[in-house]
Amino acid sequence: MSGRYTEHDIEHYDRPRRRTRPRTKDRPTYDDAVEAVVVTVDRGRFTLAYEGRRVMAMKSRPLGRKGVVVGDRVRVVGDMSGDDGALARIVEVQDRTTTLRRTADDDDPVERVIVANAAQLVVVAALADPEPRPRLIDRALVAAYVSGMKPILCLTKADLADPETLLATYRSLGVPYVVTQRGGDVELVRRVLSGTTSVLVGHSGVGKSTLVNALVPDAQREVGVVNAVTGRGRHTSTSAYMLALPDDEGWIIDTPGIRSFGLAHVQPEDLIGAFPDLDEKTGECPRGCTHGHGEPECGLDLAMESGTLDPERVESFRRLLAAREGGGDH
Ligand SMILES: Nc1nc2c(ncn2[C@@H]2O[C@H](COP(=O)(O)OP(=O)(O)O)[C@@H](O)[C@H]2O)c(=O)[nH]1
Ligand SMILES: [Mg+2]
Ligand SMILES: [Zn+2]
């Protein structure tokens, strides 16, 4: 037997074999479930990482319409052999520590979670070819701050343009950064990613897959060509994909060119919470103060006037706050 999946297997696993607890009438306990991580999703089929191998799985019926995304930690029953044709079943999704969402679009009114449980959000931007888009970077940073991911700025293609202007924009926010270039050493990037799970985001063509290939020798992520006329990358990857870094150093998630971050649910207090030094100046703000430009008697303005806050830092925070609104990531 190749361990091929059949209807019979489903029936079988719906009823736990050992019953150590009294039988619950309508909910199996899945005592024999194991834990795995979702590495990619393709048309309703999930690839899981389990004990160093790849296992295909589908959602079990009790999960219903609940989404399962890359990075999700799941409990699984069934054939975990990873053999050709083997298919396991996801019976539970663990609570997520962080989520990355993309915006609703015209034919889909719901903001979708696209990656779960990443601890770091690496915002990848090319210094040229394609030109950096500060507004997209700002929105990615907001997504990181409000979800509790640590943001990291990764500026690629330093062989084509100088990073200083762009770095100056983000210095007062204190965003950690790395700069890479063609043929350069990725050791610094490796160090920044070490020991945790990071998701790479950025417009297509900025060099995300190139970076993944440099970090994970057998990754074989497809690398695209930037169109000479439009300066845009061809969309080479269609789904997020999680890979283990060598030597158990953590995980990296490559994503297709994300153009829009779901920020509709973001409130001002969600964002300022990520900046404790600013937050502590807002205790006396009028009720409902967003701490944005032009708010009367905002504590941030008072603190700047009395010289206890750096105006550039406040300005950068307010730029992020304004970036929440109006979409317009392109
Ligand atoms: N000049 C230069 N080109 C790069 C660099 N990194 C990537 N590229 C090129 O940029 C194009 C898009 O790269 P890719 O990794 O597919 O970008 P992705 O869409 O973000 O995954 C490819 O032609 C790469 O060879 C770099 O540091 N310098
Ligand atoms: Mg790519
Ligand atoms: Zn305020």
**What is the mean pLDDT for each group of 10 consecutive residues in the chain (330 residues)?**
42 48 62 94 93 94 87 97 95 96 77 94 97 93 95 98 95 95 93 97 92 89 64 60 92 87 86 95 96 96 96 96 71
User: Please, which residues have CB within 8 angstroms of residue 291's CB and are 6 or more apart in sequence?
Assistant: 268, 272, 278, 282, 285, 298, 299, 300, 317, 318, 321
Atom number of ligand 1 nearest to Cα 254: 21
Report H helices in the chain.
Answer: 7-14, 134-147, 164-171, 187-193, 208-215, 268-272, 276-279, 299-305, 311-323
Beta strands in 241-295 (DSSP E): 241-244, 250-254
Distance 314 CA to ligand 3 centre (A): 11
Query: Phi and psi of 237, rounded to 5°?
Result: -110, 140
Indicate the top mutation candidate among 122, 199, 210 to test ligand 1's pocket, ranked by most ligand atoms within 8 A of CB: 210
The CATH architecture that domain 34-93 belongs to is: Beta Barrel (2.40)
What confidence score (pLDDT) does residue 231 get? 54
From 2.60.40.1510, 3.40.630.30, 3.40.50.2000, 3.40.50.300, which CATH number describes the 99-254 domain? 3.40.50.300
Strand, coil or helix: what is 36?
strand
Distance 166 CA to ligand 2 centre (A): 22
Spatial distance between the Cα atoms of 167 and 251, rounded to a whole number of angstroms: 26
Dihedral sign from CA coordinates of 199, 204, 206, 208 = positive
Report H helices in 253-324.
Answer: 268-272, 276-279, 299-305, 311-323
What confidence score (pLDDT) does residue 232 get? 53
Spatial distance between the Cα atoms of 211 and 234, rounded to a whole number of angstroms: 16
Distance 276 CA to ligand 3 centre (A): 13
Phi-psi region of 255 (alpha: psi -120 to 50; beta: other; left: phi over 0): beta
What confidence score (pLDDT) does residue 285 get? 97
CATH 1.10.40 placement within the chain: 268-323
Spatial distance between the Cα atoms of 200 and 193, rounded to a whole number of angstroms: 11
CATH 2.40.50.140 placement within the chain: 34-93
Distance 9 CA to ligand 2 centre (A): 37
Class of domain 268-323: mainly alpha
Ligand nearest the Cα of residue 301 is 3
Residue 43 in tokens: 């048309």
CATH 3.40.50.300 placement within the chain: 99-254
Which residues lie with the beta carbon below 6 Å from any ligand 1 atom?
156-157, 159-160, 180-182, 202, 204-210, 223-226, 233, 236, 257
Spatial distance between the Cα atoms of 245 and 261, rounded to a whole number of angstroms: 26
Residue 71 in tokens: 């990075």
Question: Is residue 312 packed enough to be buried (19+ CB in 10 Å), middle (13-18) or exposed (0-12)?
Answer: middle
What confidence score (pLDDT) does residue 225 get? 60
What confidence score (pLDDT) does residue 196 get? 97
What confidence score (pLDDT) does residue 65 get? 80
What percent helix, strand, coil does the chain show, rounded to 5?
25, 25, 50
Question: Is residue 127 packed enough to be buried (19+ CB in 10 Å), middle (13-18) or exposed (0-12)?
Answer: buried
Spatial distance between the Cα atoms of 305 and 187, rounded to a whole number of angstroms: 43
pTM (predicted TM-score): 0.87
What confidence score (pLDDT) does residue 303 get? 97
Residue 327 C-beta-side C-alpha neighbours within 13 Å: 12
Indicate the top mutation candidate among 123, 189, 212, 223 to test ligand 1's pocket, ranked by most ligand atoms within 8 A of CB: 223
What confidence score (pLDDT) does residue 227 get? 55
The closest residue, in CA terms, to atom 8 on ligand 1 is 207
